[in-house]
A and B are shown apart, each in its own frame.
Chain A
């Protein structure tokens, strides 16, 4: 009970506060900007045809209502929350009147599939290879591995992605240039294999970059752990190296690694912007890119809100998992 009251409850309250403040700020920022989306939209509409002033006024009123921009800022704020609780993020400006939720919903599956899988793969690979390289840092393979990683790591991601794209879709056209799948979504081997086929290259680019980063982190953490008294003492006592690696070294480096995993997964909703643009992948990142280019505020808002909730939830989960990973946290 004390664990619930002293540890879990404050964190859940914190979760609500973070989301509330985050969303309120997202509400305020565009309203502080001098750009008026209603005038922009009207401008777009009237740029190629003339409209009589009365129709224009009506249009303006309709748009203000649609965008939730009528009334004082307090009214707008209350309205905004009222809609949000119903799950209504408003219509997209660009593909009016499709609701924002529907547009984001179309991309989110792709993003979660692509980004989620590659984060999990690169996290596991990076953690295991990095810890091994840190633990057996004197062996030739650990040195070789580290050199390879150090070479790959500083390559900017967009260059890595373009190299892969050019190599495997142009010089050796093994993989498709754009798209997420072939055919209609269905639970058939044909569709699933096409998803894997289309997703392979973007996933590979993410896995390479992600593994390199996590390898370096895991290796640094493991090297520090190697100099700890308990690792050296267990080694002196001739405890098998495998056991030391898993239960003494890796087990003690889990805390920062799990935080990294959870926060990466929490940031899923932002999408993999560069990846999706480079590989023409139909995920949230691509949607966001288009929305930013066309000034589709509602979509930008929607994706921002989802990321706030995603990251806040991920940190909440991390906090709740910590006591199981480190007994020392339980007492605090």
Chain B
């Protein structure tokens, strides 16, 4: 198997602020080790404030103080070259953007310049990385949009003349026009209605399959993950709690938090009240000791309150960090 396109080891990224001489740290990404393979769709799930957007910023290399990488490593493997993602100088990072690494922002964001026609925005983004004339960039854009099934007339439009769904599609096209190997998408379908969501999901898959790019998809919406992702990582309070292929996560989640997440998904068969997770996620400036989920966990034991659980392998490419699961596993007779 080829080398993973991104490898992080014990990655820690904290927000460190100094206000009136008091240092405050928010442990938004804490000790995360993941491998993302070339060509897969890797989903990152978790509720608001669990650190998934922070993880994305760090992986994308687009962050500034107060967010600081305090430990661990990020390695990219692009074009048969290993690149150290943490210590890469700013101009080399900028050089990678769009050609190799790209970013699709949330649909509700106003990422298109309101006073510039779509074709001019495309020209700005293309010419930042390639020497092209206005005519060449227009030709590129027009043929790419046609391939993606977008009408030609959007080129001459201003952003406010497009619908929300169309704007999000144009943004996806804008992010992927230079065929990046690695695409990060942050809540690409949030703020869109369900019908439009389906089209956008379809388009994301198309874009990803075209060049066999890697798509890192961040959303709190487990439905979108179920539709798109090959593998899913579940984050809770800045920690990775479970990672497995999509089917496994949906059918046999092991971590109590993941179980709650999956259970809260509505299904067509049952119409009973969905269980919601009791309590609320902890504040990350003073995370709870031990397992960060123990305050809300129905299975919590004494050990959970004091000792941070290790990542253990519980099945084929299925990892989780839970004392209860570890204990069950040790009692199971080895086959």
* Contact A230–B113 (Cβ < 8 Å): yes
Asked if B114 is at the interface of the complex by the 8 Å CB criterion, the answer is yes
**Distance to closest chain A CB from B264 (angstroms):** 30
Asked if A239 is at the interface of the complex by the 8 Å CB criterion, the answer is yes
Choose one: A230, A237, A252, A328; the contact of B160 (CB below 8 Å): A328
A238 to B91, CA, bound (A): 9
Centre residue among A233, A240, A247, A248 by max chain B CB count within 10 A: A233
Could you count the A-B residue pairs with CB atoms below 8 Å apart for me: how many are there?
A: 62
Residues of B within 8 A of A (CB): 60, 62, 94-95, 97-98, 102-103, 105, 109-116, 120, 124-125, 128-129, 158, 160-161
* Contact A238–B109 (Cβ < 8 Å): no
A229 to B105, CA, bound (A): 9
Known A228-B110, A229-B105, A251-B116; further 4 A-B contacts with Cβ < 8 A: A237-B128, A240-B128, A328-B158, A331-B160
Asked if A75 is at the interface of the complex by the 8 Å CB criterion, the answer is no
**Distance to closest chain A CB from B291 (angstroms):** 35
* Contact B160–A236 (Cβ < 8 Å): no
A240 to B110, CA, bound (A): 20
Contacts of A252 in B (CB 8 A): 113-115
Contacts of B110 in A (CB 8 A): 228-230
Asked if A190 is at the interface of the complex by the 8 Å CB criterion, the answer is no
Asked if A320 is at the interface of the complex by the 8 Å CB criterion, the answer is no
* Contact A238–B98 (Cβ < 8 Å): yes
Choose one: B114, B120, B158; the contact of A230 (CB below 8 Å): B114
A5 to B225, CA, bound (A): 51
Contacts of A237 in B (CB 8 A): 97-98, 102-103, 125, 128
The 7 nearest A-B residue pairs measured at CB: A238-B94, A233-B111, A327-B158, A229-B109, A239-B128, A230-B113, A229-B110
Given A236-B103, A238-B98, A328:B124 Cβ within 8 A: no
Asked if A88 is at the interface of the complex by the 8 Å CB criterion, the answer is no
Given A238-B129, A239-B124, A248:B158 Cβ within 8 A: no
- Tell me the interface secondary structure of chain B in the complex: loop
Q: Residue of B at shortest CB range from A247?
A: B116
Q: Residue of A at shortest CB range from B102?
A: A237
Asked if A31 is at the interface of the complex by the 8 Å CB criterion, the answer is no
Contacts of A147 in B (CB 8 A): none
Q: Residue of A at shortest CB range from B91?
A: A238
**Distance to closest chain A CB from B163 (angstroms):** 14
Asked if A83 is at the interface of the complex by the 8 Å CB criterion, the answer is no
A252 to B114, CA, bound (A): 8
Contacts of B102 in A (CB 8 A): 237
Contacts of B109 in A (CB 8 A): 229, 233
* Contact A238–B114 (Cβ < 8 Å): no
A-B CB contact pairs (8 Å), 9 listed: A230-B111, A233-B111, A236-B97, A236-B103, A237-B125, A239-B128, A248-B116, A251-B113, A251-B116
Given A236-B62, A238-B128, A328:B114 Cβ within 8 A: yes
Q: For window 212-257 of chain A, which residues contact chain B by CB distance below 8 Å?
A: 228-230, 233-234, 236-240, 243, 247-248, 251-252
Contacts of B128 in A (CB 8 A): 237-240, 243
* Contact B125–A234 (Cβ < 8 Å): yes
A324 to B93, CA, bound (A): 37
Encode contact with B along A317-332: 1 for CB under 8 Å, 0 otherwise: 0000000011110010
* Contact B113–A248 (Cβ < 8 Å): yes
